[in-house]
């Protein structure tokens, strides 16, 4: 016949009396006065369970765990989330020796909120200067529905290690939504990989590596970026010789999501 389990609260009372050096007989009598009926054998089992003998000087260890929601734990969690690239809640819970649900409750109770970072182009001082000089002139080329005659193409490297160990999320205060850590700057440098080519215009997109056949007979304006292969003398000479209408290198808008949809919308 299975042994009857003692109530956890009653076990806690017995443990507290053991800590006060009560004998087993005294514990049974004291609990009986409180309306709790236990035997000396049950008290003995509790002592054996925690490894404490009657004459031992070792402190009794209570089975009830210390609350995890302490000011020290809250401070540790905040220090880990209030950074540019915070760790995951699972790793925070592991390092602080608390549950993941406790980490989540601490984040909510301290008025932090999870936000996904936005990708933005990384601008140098030279990029900014060129954009200021060329923006108005380039806008005039696109105005009055002339943008419908532009086709912009680009090639792109595809690779697996593009995250650069940057977390795509961060934690911020709910009253501070405009926060610098909510962006991920995209650098132009690319590691080795494989390259594909495509284009896009107001009439749609091209196939990968080659332009789809057909379409209306209309003079289009070739819009590409200022990569070395695009602005080389041989490339410029070929486009001039074949009478391709194209955006000149000195007209190209660097690092512009609006003028380079292939970089910032397609790839």
Report the candidate in 219, 199, 218 with the shortest Cα–Cα distance to residue 209: 199
pLDDT value at residue 177 = 64
Report the candidate in 195, 197, 217 with the shortest Cα–Cα distance to residue 206: 197
Bridge-partner residues for 172, per DSSP?
A: 113
Is the confidence at residue 108, as pLDDT, over 90? Answer: no
pLDDT value at residue 133 = 93
Query: Is there a contact between 221 and 247 (Cβ–Cβ < 8 Å)?
Result: yes
What does the block give as tokens for 11?
């076990």
Weakest-pLDDT range from 1-5, 202-206, 242-246: 1-5
Helix, strand or coil, per DSSP, at residue 22: coil
Is the confidence at residue 210, as pLDDT, over 90? Answer: no
Report the candidate in 182, 152, 176, 113 with the shortest Cα–Cα distance to residue 263: 152
User: In terms of pLDDT, which residue wins out, 82 or 259?
Assistant: 82
Greatest mean pLDDT among 2-11, 78-87, 127-136: 127-136
The residue behind tokens 């549950």 is 99
Mean pLDDT rounded to a whole number for the chain: 77
Range 186-212 average pLDDT: 70
Alpha-carbon distances, residue 32 vs 28, 35, 87, 198 (angstroms)? 6, 5, 52, 85
User: In terms of pLDDT, which residue wins out, 160 or 181?
Assistant: 181
What does the block give as tokens for 223?
């819009």
Range 192-215 average pLDDT: 70
Q: Rounded to an integer, what distance in angstroms lies between the CA atom of residue 167 and that of residue 256?
A: 24
Greatest mean pLDDT among 39-43, 218-222, 233-237: 233-237
**Residue percentage of the chain with pLDDT more than 90:** 7
How does strand 169-173 pair with strand 183-186? unpaired
Range 210-238 average pLDDT: 71
CB-CB neighbours of 148 under 10 Å: 13
Range 48-55 average pLDDT: 58
Q: Rounded to an integer, what distance in angstroms lies between the CA atom of residue 141 and that of residue 250?
A: 13
Range 5-24 average pLDDT: 77
In sequence order, what are the residues at sequence separation of 6 or more whose Cβ sits closer than 8 angstroms to the Cβ of residue 163?
Answer: none
Query: Is there a contact between 219 and 244 (Cβ–Cβ < 8 Å)?
Result: no
What does the block give as tokens for 98?
């608390």
Element (H, E) at 94: helix 89-96
**Residue percentage of the chain with pLDDT more than 70:** 77
Greatest mean pLDDT among 109-123, 124-138, 151-165, 219-233: 124-138
User: In terms of pLDDT, which residue wins out, 35 or 86?
Assistant: 86
């Amino acid at each position: 016949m299975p042994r009857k389990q003692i109530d956890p609260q009653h076990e806690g009372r017995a443990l507290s009396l053991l800590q006060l050096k009560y004998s087993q007989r005294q514990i049974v009598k004291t609990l009986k006065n409180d309306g709790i009926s236990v035997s000396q054998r049950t008290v003995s089992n509790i002592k054996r369970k925690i490894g404490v003998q009657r004459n031992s000087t070792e402190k009794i260890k209570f089975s009830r765990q210390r609350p995890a929601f302490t000011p020290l734990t809250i401070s540790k969690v905040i220090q880990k989330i209030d950074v540019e690239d915070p760790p995951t809640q699972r790793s925070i819970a592991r390092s602080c020796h608390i549950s993941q649900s406790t980490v989540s409750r601490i984040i909510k109770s301290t008025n932090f909120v999870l936000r996904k970072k936005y990708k933005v182009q990384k601008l140098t001082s030279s990029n900014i200067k060129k954009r200021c000089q060329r923006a108005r002139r380039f806008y005039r080329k696109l105005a009055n529905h002339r943008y419908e005659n532009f086709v912009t193409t680009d090639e792109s490297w595809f690779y697996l290690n593009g995250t650069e160990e940057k977390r795509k999320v961060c934690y911020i205060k709910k009253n501070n939504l405009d926060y610098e850590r909510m962006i991920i700057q995209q650098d132009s440098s690319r590691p080795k990989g494989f390259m594909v080519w495509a284009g896009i215009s107001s009439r749609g997109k091209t196939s990968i590596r080659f332009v789809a056949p057909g379409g209306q007979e209309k003079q289009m304006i070739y819009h590409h970026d200022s990569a070395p292969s695009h602005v080389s003398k041989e490339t410029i000479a070929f486009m001039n010789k074949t009478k391709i209408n194209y955006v000149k290198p000195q007209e190209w808008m660097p690092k512009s999501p609006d003028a380079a949809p292939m970089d910032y919308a397609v790839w």
